[in-house]
Chain A
Amino acid sequence: MTGIKTAVIALGLLGLGIAPAWAKMKNADTVAMDEHWDGIWNTVGGLVFNPKYAVRGKIPEMLREYPPYNKEWEAKYEKVIARHKQGFGDDPLGHCIPHGWPRLFGGAPGPIEIIIKPGTVYIIWEYMNQIRRIYTDGRGHPPAEQLYPSHFGHSIGHWEGKTLVVDTVSMMGYMPFDRTGAPHSDQVHTVERIHMVDADTLENEITVTDPVAFTKPWVVTRQWKRAPADYAMQDVYCDLQRNPIENGQTQVLLPGDPGYDAATKDSPVGKE
């Protein structure tokens, strides 16, 4: 194909409104590029969904949240709180599964990295390289019959001025909001408004709705601070752990315990 033919076809496609990804970026994702959203950010606040209720030095599972639960779900939450007070610890994360969404909003150890591409914003958490893909190319959510609950759900975004608005549906119901054990159903739905507060502070105001568990929307704000320029994402997986959950309780494997050797080898497949 000659260069002229290619150019004619390309112009034709543009005329039909089938713009390539880079053309769409001109209108939208450049905001994030101009403000340097791309890069590494440290989460502000502890491992509690609403950082307002985090207490420095306090173990999150000894704290509680105040989501606008209906009676039934407040009772469910109170059961979890009572179990924690009795000394039980059975956070599903102990099974080395991803936090997923919206749990990651409630914090994970280590920073996040934001990558802006035409039509997609990627947010990568250091912890287990968990990735959210937020499609900003104008697509909607897939039709209901194609959706199924997943760890991260399905996220679409659009720009309102300098604010990225993200809508996420189709998440797992069993993962609590955070370490306090605050539950939600698989009907949970989040809308985030992400924007820069100043050159080094990114803010996310999340509105959580849950027609099964809530009586009204729950609005929470959290911030991220830009990490130093020489910061690097590290490797954090959950491959060698001495804390399996058994009978609803977190275990601590000590030398001589069954499973200790396997959990302390140089790699899960054997001593190097």
Chain B
Amino acid sequence: MGSKPGLRFWRVLAVGACVSMWTAPAAFAHHSAAPFDMNKEIELKGMVKEVQWTNPHAWIQVNVPDGKGSVVEWSFETEGPNVLTRAGIYRNTLTPGDMVTVKGHPLKDGRPGATMITVEKADGSVLSLNPDLRKPAK
């Protein structure tokens, strides 16, 4: 399904299998985590293209430069609006054009998708479903 972007850039940024299982968010309330490599963590910088405030899962679409002059649209999956709002993440907390640094567990098949662990905004605030990882704006 879909084509491989041929991206190697993000692999350089991959933190590898160093993620403590404690940092895995309470994601996947609705579906299996099977497509994602929960032992791998990636970190990407980019610009928010769109927030899909949808049920049962919301998605953050982020345009990430691939280091070769092109941009790749990444999909970061997170929980639904009910869980997000209770974690202090609202419909307009992220808006198109925001510069963000996103951490996530990537898809096993190498396509540009991941499940969200944290999103750091330009003001230094860190959004996460895990209260231990959240930070207020600097």
CB of A201 within 8 A of chain B?
no
Q: Are A255 and B57 within 8 A (Cβ)?
A: no
Interface residues on B, range: 35 or more
Is the Cβ of A236 less than 8 Å from the Cβ of B56? yes
A126 neighbours in B (Cβ, 8 Å): 82
Output the least CB separation between B66 and chain A (Å).
15
A61 to B59, CA, bound (A): 22
User: What's the least CB distance linking B134 to chain A, in Å?
Assistant: 16
A252 touches B3 (CB 8 A): no
CB-CB nearest in chain A for B111: A254
Interface centre among B34, B79, B80 (most CB of A within 10 A): B34
CB <8 Å contact, B61 and A252? no
Assuming the contacts A57-B23, A238-B56, asked whether A109 and B29 have C-beta atoms less than 8 A apart, the reply is yes
Q: A163 within 8 Å of B by Cβ?
A: no
Q: Does A90 count as interface, using CB distance less than 8 angstroms?
A: yes
B56 touching A241 by the CB < 8 A rule?
yes
A271 in the interface (beta carbon within 8 A): no
The residue in A58, A59, A90 that gathers the most chain B C-beta atoms within 10 A of its C-beta is A59
Residues of chain B contacted by A253 (CB below 8 angstroms) = 1
By a CB distance below 8 angstroms, the chain A residues around B3 are 256
Top 8 nearest A-B pairs (CB, nearest first) are A89-B32, A89-B34, A109-B29, A234-B82, A240-B54, A57-B21, A250-B32, A57-B22
